[in-house]
């Protein structure tokens, strides 16, 4: 515990690492971030930096879109007090177009990614932190800065990511307009160095294509598949909030989104 009158704060919870003069608390599942003492330093004594990412959306089925990435929210200078803060880490949405679950730290909620749309889906949950492919809306509900982008337009499109929208269906070489038999690429995620190393998270999932599946967005998105299973569909990566790759009912089903993460950083010396 920080002695009375110390300049910097002290806290417990999650997996704790250090980066120079900073401590980093990483939560890959639900937990509690407990601030045991606030420091006297007027700049750093009671503030943290956070990165909160929701669970990615699941890929859709049949002429389907990739799952949207979980909402991506980050900021510095966030004030805390000496108390316990419950942490929720959102799970990825199941295949068949299910939306991911929200991640929460204090007053900050990052919304789960929208599920990929598709004619074979059991559900329609396309809107979210980033939108699922096939016209899902991102940044829903609205935050500033935005927590994610829209899914791609039209059938077989990619899910949205933290830094760009999903792509529409493309030519087999990955370029060109909609209607060209390759699933749309997922939107790319965003990079953060909150742990001391730059890591890209919250990429969208690739869409289904008749000839080739869509590529994932950078940051943990999954590959979409095709009628010939080229490539095989993949899930969003765990603890990135990546969207799941799209599939086709009865052949190669879409995959689940990746779980989210909550990371908190503060100066301790």
pLDDT in tens, 140-181: 999 999 999 999 999 999 999 999 999 998 876 656 555 568
The predicted structure's pLDDT at residue 1: 43
**CA 240, CA 120: separation in Å to the nearest integer?**
27
Run of H or E including 35: strand 31-37
**Token pair for 204:** 């969208």
- Share of residues in the chain with pLDDT > 70 (%): 95
Whats the size of the chain, residue-wise?
269
How many CB atoms are located within 10 Å of the residue 119 CB?
A: 12
pLDDT in tens, 68-106: 999 999 999 999 999 999 999 999 999 999 999 999 999
**CA 32, CA 23: separation in Å to the nearest integer?**
16
**Token pair for 53:** 């990412």
pLDDT exceeds 80 at position 194? yes
Q: How confident is the model at residue 263 (pLDDT cuts 50, 70, 90)?
A: very high
Residues in Cβ contact with 78 at an 8 Å cutoff, skipping those fewer than 6 apart: 47, 48, 49, 50, 106, 108
**CA 228, CA 17: separation in Å to the nearest integer?**
45
Angle 179-180-184 (CA atoms, 0-180°, nearest 5)?
85
- Which residue do the tokens 């910097």 mark? 8
Taking the alpha carbons of 192, 57, 92, 60 in that order, is the dihedral positive or negative?
negative
Q: Which of 87, 19, 7, 17 minimizes the C-alpha distance to 47?
A: 7
Cα 63 to its chain centre, rounded Å, is 23
Residues in Cβ contact with 142 at an 8 Å cutoff, skipping those fewer than 6 apart: none
pLDDT exceeds 70 at position 3? no
The predicted structure's pLDDT at residue 180: 63
pTM: 0.95
pLDDT in tens, 96-143: 999 999 999 999 999 999 999 998 887 889 999 999 999 999 999 999
| pLDDT, mean over the chain | 94
R_g over Cα of the chain? 19
Give me the phi and psi of 265, to 5 degrees please.
-135, 140
CB 80 within 8 A of CB 171: no
Residue 211: burial class (beta carbons within 10 Å; 0-12, 13-18, 19+): middle
């Amino acid at each position: 515990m920080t002695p009375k009158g110390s300049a910097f704060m002290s806290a417990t919870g999650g997996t704790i690492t250090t980066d120079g003069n900073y401590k980093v608390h990483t939560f890959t599942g639900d937990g509690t971030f407990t601030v045991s003492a606030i420091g006297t330093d007027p700049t750093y004594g009671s503030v943290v930096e956070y990165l909160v990412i929701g669970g990615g959306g699941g890929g859709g089925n049949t002429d389907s879109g990739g799952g949207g990435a979980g909402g991506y929210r980050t900021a510095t200078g966030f004030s805390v007090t000496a108390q316990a803060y419950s942490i929720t880490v959102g799970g990825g949405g199941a295949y068949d177009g299910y939306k991911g679950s929200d991640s929460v730290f204090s007053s900050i909620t990052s919304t789960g990614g929208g599920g990929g749309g598709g004619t074979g889906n059991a559900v329609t949950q396309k809107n979210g932190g980033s939108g699922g492919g096939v016209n899902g809306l991102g940044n829903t509900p609205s935050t500033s800065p935005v927590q994610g982008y829209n899914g791609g337009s039209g059938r077989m499109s990619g899910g949205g990511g933290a830094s760009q929208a999903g792509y529409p269906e493309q030519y087999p070489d990955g370029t060109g307009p909609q209607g060209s038999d390759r699933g749309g690429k997922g939107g790319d995620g965003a990079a953060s160095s909150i742990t001391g190393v730059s890591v890209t998270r919250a990429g969208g999932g690739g869409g289904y294509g008749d000839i080739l599946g869509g590529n994932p967005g950078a940051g943990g998105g999954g590959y979409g598949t095709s009628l010939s299973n080229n490539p095989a569909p993949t899930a969003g990566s765990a603890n990135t909030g990546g969207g799941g790759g799209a599939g086709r009912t009865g052949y190669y089903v879409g995959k689940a989104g990746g779980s989210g993460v909550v990371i908190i950083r503060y100066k301790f010396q």
